Structure 1
Amino acid sequence: MLGILWGLVVLLFAFWVLGLVLHIAGNLIHIALVLAITLAIYNFLKARDV
């Protein structure tokens, strides 16, 4: 499960970079990046508790 979430984080980060460079999708890309970073931090902290 953790591998899938990290893949999603990388995919959303790549879309964010494309949106930043090509000026497409505006704020949606930034919202997706914030969600990806939030998921990554949550999973990192959750993995440390175990």
Structure 2
Amino acid sequence: DRWLRSGSTNQRIAGITVLIIVVAAFVFWMPIYLGLPLSANGYRFRMWLTSWI
């Protein structure tokens, strides 16, 4: 929150970048959270580590 309201351009860019990454990750893994049907390839694409499967 502080980074987004900062007067420094670098801090503002960092804050917006982090926010975009968090939203993108949420949307990427949302089908698993919601239990939506995925193809086998789509499921494997989201399971990056073998310990997650």
Q: Give the greater-gyration-radius structure (CA).
A: 2
Q: Per residue, is there more helix in 1 or in 2?
A: 1
Q: Which has the higher contact order (CA 8 A, sep 6+)?
A: 1
